[in-house]
Structure 1
C-alpha cells in the first residue's frame, strides 16, 4: 500500500469516528441523579444528635454523658438531666442519689421502662416505683385512671397527644406511642399530656426540683424531632437551664467492640487457633497396641515384690522375716520355744531339723554386723530356707 493511500484511509477513519461521536453527543440527554449514602457516622452513633444541635442553637450548654455513675455528685442542681437511655443496670443506690439530686432543685426527664405488675405490686422500674407512678398498656389501664366529663366524651379526641398550657389558646401536638399509658397512682402530678386513650407525660414536684416522666422519647430522635411540636416540647422542658443528655447507660465489653470493629482479625485468629489445635492433635508414628494384661507370670510378680522389699527394707528385714517364719513353724512342734534363750533355741531347732548346731547358730543370728555382699546374702537366705524346709 502506497503512502498517499494509507494517509487517505487514516483521514477517512478519523472522520468516521468524529461523526459517530457527534451523533452520540447529539442523542445524549443530561439528567441529575441524587445518590443517598444514608446518615453520617456521627448521626448513626447518636440518635439524639439533632436534639443536641437544636438545644445548642437555643443557647443551652449541652453535655453528653455515657452513664449515671457519679453524675449527680458533679452536676449542678440547676440543670436538666435528660435520662433517655435504658436503665436496667441502675442500682437502688443510684436511683436514691438521683432523686436526692432532684430534691435539691434539679429537673429530671426520664422514660418509663417497665409495665406495672398487679401481682407483684410493682413494676421493677426503680424510678417509677419510688415516685408512685405506673405504666400500663393502653388497653389494660385501670378503670379509674381518669374520669372524663360529658363534654370531653363528646369531643372526638385526636390520635396525637395534646398538651394544654395556661394562657395558651391552642394545645401542643405530640406523636407519642399511644399503646402505653402513665397512671399517677399517688395523685401528685400537676401537669400531664393525653392522647385519645392514654396519658403519655406526667410532671410532678419532688422537693425543690421537678420530674417529668414520659412513655417514650422517640419524638426527640433525629428523624422525628422536626415533626409536630416535638422540638418545642424539648425547648419548653429545658428552658433557662443547661442540659445533660444520657441516652446510653451501658458500655460495650471488649468482645463486643472486637466483633464490631475487628471481625476479620477475630476470624483470622480463630482460624489460626483451629489450625494450631489440628496440628497439635496429629499422631506421630505408628499406633501402639495396648499392653497384654496377662503377660506377667507369678515368678515375675514374686521377683518384683522381692526386689521392692530389698530396696526399701534392706537385707535385715528380709532375713528377720525368714527367721520369724522358722520360729512360727517350730512352735507347732515345741510350744515353749519362745521362752528359751538363744543357745537353747538353736539347740532345739537343730534337734527338730536334724541340722548341725553350728549351721543353725549361724543362720539364726539376731543381727548382722555389716552389710553382706550379694553372694553372702544369697547363701544366708539359702541356709534359712533349708532350715525352714527341714522343719
Structure 2
C-alpha cells in the first residue's frame, strides 16, 4: 500500500514538471541584449587608448612613454612628441633638451599648466614661460565686440583652414585663454571669447600649446572634430604620447579592496609584538639605600630645596655661609659699611670688588635662567672656597 502511494506521488510530480516545462517552452521568448561591462583594464590604465587606435588607423606609428628618458631615442625629423602628463617636476635641463629636440625638426605639443602672474613676471610652468606664451582665465578677459553674425557655437573652439568654407570644431576647455604677447604664433584656434590653441615655429620644428587635452581622451575624442584635429596636428609624423601609465601599487590595491584583512593583519602583528615583549622572569629589586653615595644625597637634597623654596633659598644659603666665614677671619666685619665689606672680601678672596658685588647683592624676585643660576652659584662657591 505504501509503495503504491509513493509511486503515485512520483508520477504526479513528474507529470507536473512536464506540464510546467511545456508551458514555459511555449511562453518563453528568446531575445538578444548587449551587456556593458565598462571599459577594459587597458582602457582604464590609458586614457588616450582610443586616440592611439585612431591615429594607427590613419597610418601613423604611435607609441607612448612614461618619462623624458625616451627623448634621446626619438629622431626629431618627422616626429611628434605630445606631453600630455603632469610636468610639475620638469627640470630646466629637461626643458633645454626638449627645446633642442624641437629646434632640430621635432613637432612638440604640450598643455599649459599654470596661469601667468603679472607681479612675478612668470608662471609656475617653466616650459610655457620658455616659449613666451601666457595663460589666463577666460573670465578675466574683456567681452569681445559684437560680431556681425551670431556665433552658433560660442563654447566650441574653431580652427579655420585655407580653402575650407567651414571651420573645424573642437571641445577645448573654454575656462582658459592663451595669449601671445610677442606675436610669435603662426596659427591659433579660438572659441567665442578666448584662444585655446597656438602654434609657434621653433628652429626647424614647431610647438603647439593647448589649454587642455581632455578632448582627446576616450570619452570625448569622438565628439565633433576632436579626433580629426589630433590627426591634423600630427599628420605625416611618428607620434609619441608621453604620460604616466603607472598602475596602482600592491599596497594601494590591498587598501582599496581588502581593508578588513589589512586591519586584521596589523592587529595580529601587534599581538605578536606584545607577546614577544612580555617580561619573562622576576622583577629586579631596587638597589638598597646603603649603596647611595654622599654625592647622590647632596644632589637630591639640593633638588628638593630648589623645588620647594626656589633659587633664592640656595643662593642665600651660600651667601650666609660666606658671611659666617668672613666674620671669623675679620672681627668687626658687621660694623663696616657695604662698600667696605666688599673691599674686605676682595682682599681676603683675591676677587675683584665688581664680581663680589654681583655675587653678594640681593637678587631680584624674577627666576634666573639655568645658565645664569649656575654662573651665580659658581661665583659664590669660588668666594667661599677662598675663605
- State the TM-score bracket (shorter-chain normalisation): 0.5 to 0.7
Separation in structure 2 between the aligned mates of residue 245 and residue 24 of structure 1, nearest angstrom: 56
> How much does 1:259 deviate?
1.5
Please tell me whether the aligned partners of residues 258 and 266 of structure 1 are also in contact (alpha carbons under 8 angstroms). no
**Residues 22 and 224 of structure 1: CA distance in aligned 2, closer, same or farther (over 3 Å):** same
**Residues 2 and 118 of structure 1: CA distance in aligned 2, closer, same or farther (over 3 Å):** closer
Query: 2:75 matched to 1:73?
Result: no
Separation in structure 2 between the aligned mates of residue 276 and residue 8 of structure 1, nearest angstrom: 65
**Residues 40 and 155 of structure 1: CA distance in aligned 2, closer, same or farther (over 3 Å):** closer
Partner of 1:220: 216
Partner of 2:315: none
> How much does 1:148 deviate?
5.6
Partner of 1:360: none
> How much does 1:152 deviate?
5.7
What does the per-residue CA deviation read over 1:21-67, in whole Å, with 9 as the maximum and x for residues that have no partner? Answer: 33444454545454322110110011001111111111111121111
**Residues 164 and 21 of structure 1: CA distance in aligned 2, closer, same or farther (over 3 Å):** same
Between Structure 1 and Structure 2, whose CA radius of gyration is higher?
1
Partner of 2:56: 56
Equivalent position to 1:257, from 245, 249, 252: 249
What's the RMSD between the two structures over aligned residues? 2.9
TM-score normalized by the length of structure 2 = 0.67
Query: 2:186 matched to 1:190?
Result: yes
Which runs of 5 or more structure 2 residues have no equivalent in the other structure? 297-387
What does the per-residue CA deviation read over 1:46-105, in whole Å, with 9 as the maximum and x for residues that have no partner? Answer: 100111111111111112111112x33221112000111110111001001101111111
Separation in structure 2 between the aligned mates of residue 213 and residue 31 of structure 1, nearest angstrom: 51
Partner of 1:38: 38
Separation in structure 2 between the aligned mates of residue 276 and residue 6 of structure 1, nearest angstrom: 62
Partner of 1:19: 19
**Residues 7 and 205 of structure 1: CA distance in aligned 2, closer, same or farther (over 3 Å):** same
Please tell me whether the aligned partners of residues 154 and 193 of structure 2 are also in contact (alpha carbons under 8 angstroms). no
TM-score normalized by the length of structure 1 = 0.67
Separation in structure 2 between the aligned mates of residue 110 and residue 152 of structure 1, nearest angstrom: 34
SS in 2 for 1:295: helix
SS in 1 for 2:88: coil
Give the count of matched residue pairs.
290
Which runs of 5 or more structure 1 residues have no equivalent in the other structure? 302-391
What does the per-residue CA deviation read over 1:109-129, in whole Å, with 9 as the maximum and x for residues that have no partner? Answer: 100101111221111211110
Partner of 1:388: none
Query: 2:175 matched to 1:179?
Result: yes
Separation in structure 1 between the aligned mates of residue 144 and residue 235 of structure 2, nearest angstrom: 32
**Residues 298 and 63 of structure 1: CA distance in aligned 2, closer, same or farther (over 3 Å):** closer
